Structure 1
Amino acid sequence: MSLLEIEDLTVEFPTRRALFTAVKNAHLSVEPGEIHGLVGESGAGKSTIGAAVMGLLDRPGRIAGGIIRYKGEEISGLDTDAMRALRGKKISMIFQDPLTSLNPLFTVRQQLVETISEHLDVTADEANTRARDLIDRVGIPDPEARLDQYPHQFSGGMRQRVVIALALCSEPDVIIADEPTTALDVSIQAQILDLIKELATERQVGVILITHDMGVIADTTDKVTVMYMGEVVESGATAQVLGQPSHPYTKSLIAAVPRPTVKLDRFPLISYGGRVMEFAIEDLKRNWPEVQTDRSKTLVQADAITKRFVQTRAILPRNRKMFTAVDAAKFDIKQGEVFGLVGESGSGKSTIARMIAGLYKVDGGEVSFDGKPVSNQPGGVPDWYRKQIQMIFQDPYSSLNPRMRVDEIIAEPARHHGLLAGQALKDRVSELLDRVGLGAAAGLKYPHEFSGGQRQRISIARALATQPRFLICDEPTSALDVSIQAQILNILKDLQEHLGLTMLFISHDLPVVRQMCNRVGVMKNGALVEVAETEALFASPQHPYTQQLLSLMPRLDGLSDEGLSVA
């Protein structure tokens, strides 16, 4: 008997204008000790299935058909009280966004102990001990001290580990993991996935693993179900589905996955369903100032740059406790080059990006651009330098003003620097929206009206508004599924190759770094431990930490190579 069975599940969302069917006749089952992967693009219905099983569908969503069974008993028709008794204790969920699933007003200890006490018959001391053990088990250092901190005091990856600990509190039989490793670097991702596999093997827990990371699916799951537009298009053993896919959509999806062992000329786009949106680089190039790039010349120089943050404040400087986020990092970026930065969460990658962008003051060393110093200048970051650089942030939604229309957002940098005005500025905005595949009409909408991938395209259009020479890309695709990621990465490849743009590319996704970067720097605890040509680094890493990092990278050996264009 299966732990969890889903038969012909249909989920509908009635609206004033029409009836939207999010899931249509979906079916899957999970056996004890089995990890069942659920993949597909954003909007395919993956998370909706998880919410339906948990009884957490957002109103007015409803189960319009089909049956959900837990250990042979139907649970899709349970009332609120019966579902509450089952939820958390027998079936737990790891949510995608850890910040919104943790209470900001309570410490981590209070939230863990409350959950443990609610579902298990234990004393207060036993609940505290179990909470500490869970925090330690998910890899959070110094668990006793961290238990008494609040969610905002943790990094994104740390918060995700807290959410995983919460899901494990009640020793459930079924765990629904909705993108549990999206915000995690490869080392922590490997630790969390090992924990999930251990639970499945030792405690015979059944797991539904919802993710857009095909490497995670290939390395972790026993079976996989592929969804497209709310429907299941293919299901079976993971090795069979990924190695010999039968459905055209599955083939297209697998072809878009960045490979860790082979460099691709371009990323294949999802062609099934006629939804391909290409980037019009040739049209953009016609109105772009011609730039002569000499790969032997340095454009950006970071000379032993250091950044320290105050950990403990005090009036007297000697009583202040400082934390060194970046310690004397030294590297250069050549003209027309893509320079990658990799490392664990908290290693200092984004801090370096913000120092180079002028968003953080440089506490030691110096940043130079085209041979001229730009950090810690008497009048602040020179205005000429700000025109030459732009940044694409990790979360496109939080970096776009929700109260501004898209055309205003894209026009703002050019207007601020006095580059264009009036009709010429409107034309520039319309052209950029056309070139990134959104169309000029998108300028009249607001950020919330777009998907994650479309919002990232808006961020790219905004970054190109000043026609910069240097782009800083801080985890630009970490929250995107492989199809949208392929589109964004192709855009960045085109910008480098055809417009001569120089880039700093920060990512925890090592296969993506291999595809995108000419050289790579490896960060650990604020220090730059290795810099090398990309292929040399992946073929023969020199530093022990780099070797460890690459050993944890998903190999993706079983994926079909159909549709790949090798460089």
Structure 2
Amino acid sequence: MSILEIRGLTVEFPGRKDTFVAARDINLSIEPGKILGVVGESGAGKSTVGNAVIGLLEHPGRLGAGEIFVHGERIDNLPAKRMRELRGKRIGMIFQDPLTSLDPLQTVEFQLVETMLEHLPISKGEAKQRAIDLLDQVGIPNPAERVKQYPHQFSGGMRQRVVIALALCAEPEVVIADEPTTALDVSIQAQILNLMKKLCAEKNVAMLVITHDMGVIAEITDHVAVMYRGNLVEYGESQQILGSPQHEYTKSLIAAVPRPDVRVHRFPQVDYIEGSAKPFKQIDIATHWLGQSRDYTPVDGALLSVDQIDMKFMTRNAWLPKNRQFFQALKKVSFDIKPGETFGLVGESGSGKSTVARVITGLYHPSAGTVTFAGQELTSLHDRRQVLAMRRQMQMIFQDPYSSLNARMRVKDIVAEPIKFHKLASTNSECFRIVDDLLDHVGLGSAAGKKYPHEFSGGQRQRISIARALATRPRFLICDEPTSALDVSIQAQILNLLKDLQDELGLTMLFISHDLAVIRQMCNRTGVMRFGELLEVQETEALFESPQADYTKELLGLMPSMDMLSRDNLEEEVA
């Protein structure tokens, strides 16, 4: 018998002129000890279904039709008081962002104990002991000490473990996990996924996992439901859906997944998804604006050399130097990048990847060591004109395109800003002609310049960031986790665009990511970082086939298995 059963669920959001249907006639069920994965792009309706089950639809959302049952009891028509009693007790929820789903002003112990006293017939002393036991069960070391700490004192992966403990503390029958591993490192993701599988097997809990990560789906689910624009387009056992998909949308999603086992020249086009197959507009680089004034001095050997870089951050200031305390973020990091090459940096959060990027761009000044770019030592530059000339040649694409774009500026002004700053156009009209051309070149069209960043999807905003980065005609791009927050199909578009631009403009790139599959597809050589140290640098294919450092072997072993994914449309793309 199914623990959770959803019959004909339709969720509506009424507006002033019409009603938006976010989920339409959804039928799903989960048996005890089983995991059902709901997959699809942002806006497909995945989270809407999860929120409807637990009764947390945002106003003015409502159930237009359908029924929801837990152990045969209908719950969608319960009064608010009864629903609050059921929420937490019978249905637990693991939210996407653990930091915002925990109270920053209360200790972990307080939050766990409060939930247990609300739903379980136990004393406060028993609840405190059970809180320690729960933290131990979810793999948090020294649980008796850490239970007294606040959420900000935990890492991202540890906070997610706390959220799992919170979801399980009242012994629910159903757990809904909404993007539980998004943006987590591969090692932390593997720990969380193993924990979820173990809990389902040991506690006989039914779990609904909402995600756009096909690796997560392949790793832990028993059944898969594929959603597209509020509709359930395919539903069945994981092996059948992932190995032999029937619906064109499912085939498109699987084709777009970066494969860790083989390198492809380009990601297959996902033609079913609207707007995903925009052709790359080739240009004549000899006459196009992007090719003009790129008379940078040729270099023999490496374009960028990082030599013995140390970086320390002061964690405690004091009048006496001996009383000051420092955190060593980088330790003797050295590597070089050749012209036209894509060099990858991979490692867990806190390994120092983004710190390296900030040292290269001059945002951080290293404690020791040198950075040399195109024959010029950057760490010794003090003349503003020289600094700006070097910065014009290197640009950065950030992880979150929304926070890196000024929300109060129109897109045309955002892209025009570096052109005006570096005086690359003689008139305003020439500047905006260049902007229109850049927006068209990255697949947005010149009409996009009249809009604001909030009017675009995540993938479109990242295209705006790329257009802005190209506006100075750089020779070197730093891509800091540029696709980690994007859906798999949108990620494929952005990665294809970066490859096309590199081939066309001869760009050199530093590509930072914790996604090993993306690193394999994008990078010629790769360095592996841990705790501020560069453990090894190899040709990317050699790194994946024969890693030298034990930590690299461990990382590669933790990648979700993609063996069951269909390989249709992939073979022709293999480089």
TM-score per shorter chain, which class? over 0.9
**Matches of 1:379 and 1:293 in 2, distance apart?**
19
Secondary structure at the counterpart of residue 432 of structure 1: helix
**Matches of 2:306 and 2:448 in 1, distance apart?**
38
Q: Deviations over 1:93-151 (max 9, x none)?
A: 11122333233333444333333333334444443444344445445555556545544
Secondary structure at the counterpart of residue 60 of structure 2: coil
Unmatched segments (≥5 aa) in structure 1: none
Point out the more displaced range, 314-323 or 23-32. Answer: 314-323
Is the alpha carbon distance of 1:109 and 1:404 closer, same or farther for their aligned partners in structure 2, counting shifts above 3 Å?
farther
Q: Deviations over 1:395-430 (max 9, x none)?
A: 111112222222222222222222234011111221
Secondary structure at the counterpart of residue 87 of structure 1: helix
- Equivalent residue for 1:7? 7
**Which residue of the other structure, out of 369, 388, 392, is the alignment partner of 1:387?**
392
Q: Using the TM superposition, give the Cα deviation of residue 378 of structure 1 relative to its aligned residue in structure 2, in angstroms.
A: 3.2
Paired letter, 1:415: K
- Equivalent residue for 1:289? 291
Which residues of 2 match residues 133-172 of structure 1 at below 5 A?
133-140=133-140, 143=143, 146-172=146-172
- Equivalent residue for 2:408? 403
Secondary structure at the counterpart of residue 482 of structure 2: coil
Does residue 349 of structure 1 match 2:357? no
Paired letter, 1:342: V
Length, aligned pairs only? 567
Q: Deviations over 1:477-499 (max 9, x none)?
A: 11111110110110111122111
Q: Does the 8 Å contact 1:362/1:376 carry over to 2?
A: no
Q: Does the 8 Å contact 1:514/1:534 carry over to 2?
A: yes
Is the alpha carbon distance of 1:40 and 1:293 closer, same or farther for their aligned partners in structure 2, counting shifts above 3 Å?
farther
**Which residue of the other structure, out of 419, 423, 444, is the alignment partner of 1:418?**
423
Point out the more displaced range, 7-16 or 131-140. Answer: 131-140
Paired letter, 1:566: V
- Equivalent residue for 1:456? 462
Secondary structure at the counterpart of residue 504 of structure 1: strand
Secondary structure at the counterpart of residue 522 of structure 1: strand
Q: Using the TM superposition, give the Cα deviation of residue 522 of structure 1 relative to its aligned residue in structure 2, in angstroms.
A: 0.4
Is the alpha carbon distance of 1:561 and 1:208 closer, same or farther for their aligned partners in structure 2, counting shifts above 3 Å?
same
Does residue 331 of structure 1 match 2:335? yes
- Equivalent residue for 1:79? 79
Point out the more displaced range, 9-18 or 537-546. Answer: 9-18
**Matches of 2:299 and 2:240 in 1, distance apart?**
44
Q: Does the 8 Å contact 2:271/2:277 carry over to 1?
A: no
The sequence identity of aligned pairs, in percent, is 62
Which residues of 2 match residues 14-33 of structure 1 at below 5 A?
14-33=14-33
Q: Using the TM superposition, give the Cα deviation of residue 346 of structure 1 relative to its aligned residue in structure 2, in angstroms.
A: 1.2
Is the alpha carbon distance of 1:97 and 1:282 closer, same or farther for their aligned partners in structure 2, counting shifts above 3 Å?
same
Q: Using the TM superposition, give the Cα deviation of residue 309 of structure 1 relative to its aligned residue in structure 2, in angstroms.
A: 1.5
Paired letter, 1:69: F
- Equivalent residue for 1:248? 248
**Matches of 1:432 and 1:136 in 2, distance apart?**
53
- Equivalent residue for 2:527? 521
Secondary structure at the counterpart of residue 298 of structure 1: coil
- Equivalent residue for 1:216? 216
**Which residue of the other structure, out of 492, 498, 508, is the alignment partner of 2:504?**
498
Q: Deviations over 1:496-520 (max 9, x none)?
A: 2111111111111111110110011
Q: Does the 8 Å contact 2:190/2:560 carry over to 1?
A: no
Q: Using the TM superposition, give the Cα deviation of residue 191 of structure 1 relative to its aligned residue in structure 2, in angstroms.
A: 0.4
User: With structure 2 as the length reference, what TM-score do the two structures score?
Assistant: 0.94
- Equivalent residue for 2:442? 436
Paired letter, 1:35: I
- Equivalent residue for 1:445? 451
- Equivalent residue for 2:541? 535
Does residue 173 of structure 1 match 2:181? no
Paired letter, 1:304: Q
- Equivalent residue for 1:511? 517
**Matches of 2:313 and 2:504 in 1, distance apart?**
39
Unmatched segments (≥5 aa) in structure 2: none
User: With structure 1 as the length reference, what TM-score do the two structures score?
Assistant: 0.95
Is the alpha carbon distance of 1:423 and 1:277 closer, same or farther for their aligned partners in structure 2, counting shifts above 3 Å?
farther
**Matches of 1:10 and 1:284 in 2, distance apart?**
51
Is the alpha carbon distance of 1:156 and 1:360 closer, same or farther for their aligned partners in structure 2, counting shifts above 3 Å?
farther
Is the alpha carbon distance of 1:125 and 1:374 closer, same or farther for their aligned partners in structure 2, counting shifts above 3 Å?
farther
Which residues of 2 match residues 546-561 of structure 1 at below 5 A?
546-561=552-567
Does residue 473 of structure 1 match 2:479? yes
Is the alpha carbon distance of 1:128 and 1:527 closer, same or farther for their aligned partners in structure 2, counting shifts above 3 Å?
farther
Q: Deviations over 1:197-249 (max 9, x none)?
A: 00111111111111111111111111101111110111111000111111111
**Matches of 1:359 and 1:128 in 2, distance apart?**
46
Q: Using the TM superposition, give the Cα deviation of residue 279 of structure 1 relative to its aligned residue in structure 2, in angstroms.
A: 5.3
Q: Does the 8 Å contact 2:252/2:273 carry over to 1?
A: no
Paired letter, 1:337: E
- Equivalent residue for 1:257? 257
Which residues of 2 match residues 366-385 of structure 1 at below 5 A?
366-375=370-379, 377-379=381-383, 382-385=387-390
Q: Using the TM superposition, give the Cα deviation of residue 23 of structure 1 relative to its aligned residue in structure 2, in angstroms.
A: 0.5
Paired letter, 2:183: A
Q: Using the TM superposition, give the Cα deviation of residue 331 of structure 1 relative to its aligned residue in structure 2, in angstroms.
A: 0.6
Which residues of 2 match residues 188-207 of structure 1 at below 5 A?
188-207=188-207
**Matches of 1:31 and 1:500 in 2, distance apart?**
54
Secondary structure at the counterpart of residue 402 of structure 2: coil
Does residue 315 of structure 1 match 2:309? no
Q: Does the 8 Å contact 1:295/1:336 carry over to 2?
A: no
Q: Using the TM superposition, give the Cα deviation of residue 17 of structure 1 relative to its aligned residue in structure 2, in angstroms.
A: 2.8
Q: Does the 8 Å contact 1:293/1:336 carry over to 2?
A: no
Paired letter, 2:345: L
Secondary structure at the counterpart of residue 463 of structure 1: helix
Is the alpha carbon distance of 1:361 and 1:115 closer, same or farther for their aligned partners in structure 2, counting shifts above 3 Å?
farther
Is the alpha carbon distance of 1:157 and 1:266 closer, same or farther for their aligned partners in structure 2, counting shifts above 3 Å?
same
Q: Using the TM superposition, give the Cα deviation of residue 45 of structure 1 relative to its aligned residue in structure 2, in angstroms.
A: 0.5
